[in-house]
């Protein structure tokens, strides 16, 4: 998807909304993008993205009992 599809307007200093969190989850989990790439597409600072992902990381078990971290 193109960058213009994900630009979300939000006021500086305000919390991320549910829609923005869903987009972060998709970009991080499905498209395997890093913090900088997600921040560029979301039009916010990469530190905001890294803090949000750290806050929402969960560990799941795969079928072969290996661990994987997913942002929820």
Q: Tally the domains of the chain.
A: 1
pLDDT of residue 10: 65
Mean per-residue pLDDT, 48-60: 94
**What is the per-residue pLDDT for 4?**
54
In-domain check, residue 8 = no
CATH number at residue 56: 1.10.10
pLDDT mean across residues, the chain? 88
User: Does residue 66 belong to any structural domain of this protein?
Assistant: yes
Is residue 4, in this structure, part of any structural domain at all? no
Chain centre to alpha carbon of residue 9: 16
The verdict on residue 52 lying in a domain is yes
Query: Where are the extended beta strands (E) located within 1-72?
Result: 57-61, 67-71
Q: Which residues touch 52 (CB under 8 Å, ≥6 apart)?
A: 16, 21, 24
pTM (predicted TM-score): 0.78
pLDDT band of 9, cuts 50, 70, 90: low
* Per-residue pLDDT, 23: 95
Residue 65 lies in a domain: yes
pLDDT of 8 higher than 70: no
Task: Decide if 38 is inside a domain.
Answer: yes
């Amino acid at each position: 998807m193109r960058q213009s599809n994900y630009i979300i307007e939000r006021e500086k200093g305000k919390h991320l909304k549910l829609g923005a969190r869903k987009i972060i989850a998709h970009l991080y989990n499905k498209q395997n993008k890093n913090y900088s790439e997600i921040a560029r597409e979301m039009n916010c600072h990469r530190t905001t993205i890294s803090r949000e992902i750290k806050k929402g990381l969960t560990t799941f078990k795969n079928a072969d009992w290996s661990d994987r971290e997913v942002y929820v």
